[in-house]
Amino acid sequence: MGIKYLEKERLFKLDTPNSSYVCGIFDPEGFLLHLYYGKKIGDDDIRYIAQVYTYPFSPDKNNRDRGMFLDRAFFEYPTEGVGDYRQGCIDAETVNGHSGCSLHYVNHQILKGKPGIAGLPATFDVMPGAVSGEESICETLMITLNDDPTGLTVTLFYSIFEGVDAIVRSVRLENSGTSDLFINKVLSACIELEEGKRDVITLHGSWARERNIERTAISKGIYSIGSIKGESSHQMNPFMAVADRNTTREQGEIYGLSFVYSGNFTASAECSQFGSTRVLMGINPKGFRWKLEPGYVFNAPEVIMVYSAQGIGQMSRTFHDIMRDHLISGANIHNKYRNSPRPVLINNWEATYFDFDSDKLIAIAKEAAKNGIEMLVMDDGWFGKRSSDDMALGDWYVNEDKIRGGLKKLVDAVRTAGLKFGIWIEPEMISPDSDLYREHPDWAIAIPGRTGTLMRNQYVLDFSRKEIVDEIYSRIKAVLSSADISYVKWDMNRPLSDIGSYALESDRQGELFHRYVLGVYDIMGRLLEDFPDLLLENCSGGGGRFDPGMLYYSPQIWCSDDTDAIERLAIQEGTSMVYPLSTMGAHVSDCPNHVTGRTVPFETRGYVALAGTFGYELDITRISQEERDMIAGQVEMYHKYNELVRTGDHYRLTSYRENGLNDSWMVVSKDRSKALLTYIKVMARPFKRSVVLKLDGLDPNKDYRISCDKDVLCTDTGERGGNGLTLRGDTLMNAGILINEDSSDMKGDFRGLLIDLTAEDLLV
Ligand code: GLA
């Protein structure tokens, strides 16, 4: 690992365990050009790659045709307006209304460690699982560039972490001139790839269908995704990967970019006239205009870039590692849930919706306790006059008609029953029918004189204003301080619209979207400072804000309001392409499922939820005795496998989304001594009732003892009884195992099974 400056060649080189990244200064202009990102290479002089002298004319030799250079070169941080007609990273407008920009090298610095980014979530430098203060395992390169005519200074930051095949980038702007500048666009990362046949992979969705995988061929032109909803959104996740056309799950090259931000974003892949691809990511310029006064600084959020030469799976595992070790719970790395099992919770939303009182909750808690569940979460409806989603957001006072005797009394009763207590809040919102709105109608984001667009009958509070954040936080803090509360589900049930703030000056209205996100980060940061052991679960109408920015505050995020275990297969597959399993909020819920109407065996619902945080979302007092009796065993299963699921390497084997038949995945411990395979049969095939499944991620030379919770494995004699068999890793990965879907245990719809693999050397 290391960052080097090759002085003679004026090249910067970043090496991760398996990748290299090279950019360099090209004189006499001092352009910073991108040279290489890919498999690890030597410290050679590769300036020839930039083709500066083979372009029609290099700029210093021929200013007459300078545009031929600008529109073709690979820029490290491309600008717009002066002759590069591809999409660029920056648009800074002067008070005269001009916005051309050209950046030239000023200086650079290589640091041990990694500076934080003021006000924003960011990856951090500590040994995995350790606390700060230990020796740094991170290096940072800062390259400063400037644009003389505007006085704009741009500093590019690049950090690498020991043992991690990722590079983290961010950008800082400073107005070093004497007049105001208006920043209309500031993206955080660019990668430039030589011509080749490539696909772009993104995660798209909608409410109840988040993060489905989309793969599309890149052709000439621009493929672009993004959000202008003020949150990262259900529709598009702030992730984009560019892969060779032949890249598969475990083979081939892929570049993944993930944006550590929770607001508007853009990501694009542009195929130029020469067949090269420029990939960009950053804050969406639509709706963004930031006034940068002389001497002021603007920090753009960071992008995690992962290169894998071993397919999509390896890219995912690298994202999981860097997020688990260097991002999650960064707001409070001492938080006890950062890297430990989370309590198995039961949430009352699908059990009661708004129709509950303290007696009902205590009844659920008592029954839950008997079955091994560890925490009760009281969802929406406990405050103000909230009897439906039409009112009371902002009135963060306990409704004593429902919670009789107050919150402390309820929480004490739940604690006495043996459970921890968690609570739902939606701090960013205000209902028109609320005391808060009656008192402060100007606190909602709105365009004066225009009827605001309601969604779920609510407006969004103007969190760009500190006094509003302060007031909401003091109300929430009072509630959380009044009782022994271990968990908060932080919801956000509508996107932003009608972008206007009653407080911002007219030339700063374009700052509202970003200032709003900064306000959200600020209040979440305060919450974790005041309640350091709180388990925070982010949620936005399900998974509308499932992004790396949120993971800095909450180690888990509710994946989707679609809790149907079969629908969840695609949602969880897409989510796990970028995000660790430990972050995926997943529960066993009621059936027929409230969203799809489908009934899936209770057991299968448990297997699917096991791939995430695991918990329950049903009325435990009303389900059948047979199902209730299965809960204790499921909780035991969670405790047995959670360590592996939370910390292991994830391998996808088959995808129901692709094959229409079954879904399967594995989690393998880092030392490859233990593995868990989950197999879900979705569709039975009358003509073929057995499946050969090839495993992955095992040590090829280790013998593994196989045990399965069902009698479905076949031996070579055709007899059942593979359970207890020992096979070598290479056999399991290449020849595979035979699953008999005709076995009585697997008959019927939507059956699942778990296979436990333990290395023999661990058993002796
Ligand atoms: C959102 C969440 C649900 C539930 C409701 C409460 O839709 O995703 O889980 O908390 O809000 O109103």
Nearest CA to ligand 1 atom 12: 380
Catalytic residue among 561, 649, 699, 756: 561
pLDDT value at 304 more than 70: yes
Q: SS3 string of 308-326?
A: ECEHHHHHHHHHHHHHHHH
Provide the pLDDT for residue 257.
98
The fold adopted by the segment(s) 345-647 is TIM Barrel (3.20.20)
Ligand 1 is surrounded, with C-beta below 6 A, by: 349, 379-380, 389, 424, 491, 493, 539, 541-542, 558, 561
Task: Answer whether residue 186 shows pLDDT above 60.
Answer: yes
Share of the chain above pLDDT 70, in %: 97
pLDDT, tens digit (0-9, with 9 covering 90-100), for 534-593: 999 999 999 999 999 999 999 999 999 999 999 999 999 999 999 999 999 999 999 999
Whether 18 shows a pLDDT value over 80: the answer reads yes
Q: Could you tell me what percent of the chain has a pLDDT over 90?
A: 91
Query: Residue 689: its pLDDT value, please?
Result: 84
Name the token pair of 198: 């490539």
The pLDDT of 35-40, averaged and rounded, is: 98
- Domain 3-326 annotated CATH 2.70.98.60: yes
Place of tokens 């009303």: 622
Which of 210, 231, 423, 424 is the pocket-test mutation for ligand 1 (most atoms within 8 Å of CB)?
Answer: 424
How many Å lie between the centroid of ligand 1 and the Cα of residue 762? Answer: 44
* Residues 644, 647, 649, 650, Cα dihedral to 10°: 80
The CATH code for residues 653-762 is 2.60.40.1180
Q: Is residue 484 annotated as a catalytic residue, yes or no?
A: no
Please state, in angstroms and rounded to a whole number, the distance separating the CA atoms of residues 366 and 410.
12
Going by C-alpha positions, the residue among 67, 77, 102 that lies closest to residue 273 is: 67
Over the stretch 350-409, which tens digit does the pLDDT of each residue have? 999 999 999 999 999 999 999 999 999 999 999 999 999 999 999 999 999 999 999 999
- Report how far ligand 1's centroid is from the alpha carbon of 491 (Å): 7
Average pLDDT, the chain: 95
Q: Exposed (0-12), middle (13-18) or buried (19+): which is 525, by Cβ within 10 Å? A: middle
Average pLDDT, integer, range 62-82: 93
The residues spanned by each domain of the chain are 3-326, 345-647, 653-762
Residue 547 designated active-site: no
Among 561, 587, 613, say which to mutate for ligand 1: greatest number of ligand atoms within 8 Å of CB. 561
422: CA distance to ligand 1 center in Å? Answer: 14
Closest approach atom of ligand 1 to CA 489: 10
Ligand 1, atom 7, lies closest to the CA of: 541
Q: What's the sign of the alpha-carbon dihedral 517, 540, 365, 751? A: negative
Tell me how many degrees the CA angle 737-739-743 measures, rounded to the nearest 5.
Answer: 150
Q: Could you tell me the distance, in angstroms and rounded to a whole number, from the CA of residue 407 to the centre of ligand 1? A: 20
Using DSSP's 3-state secondary structure scheme, residue 68 falls into: helix
From ligand 1's centre to the CA of 499, what distance in Å? 24
Tell how far the Cα of 541 is from the centroid of ligand 1, in angstroms: 5
Least confident of 9-18, 54-63, 376-385: 54-63
Identify the band that residue 446 occupies on the pLDDT scale cut at 50, 70 and 90: very high
Peptide bond into 149 cis (omega under 30): no
Catalytic residue among 491, 547, 562, 699: 491
pLDDT in tens, 627-657: 999 999 999 999 999 999 999 999 999 999 9
Q: What is the pTM of this model?
A: 0.97
| DSSP assignment of 562-625 | ---HHHHHHHHHHHHTTS-GGGEE--EE-SS-TTT-----HHHHHHHHHTTT-EEES-TTTS-H
Output the residue whose Cα is nearest ligand 1's atom 2.
541
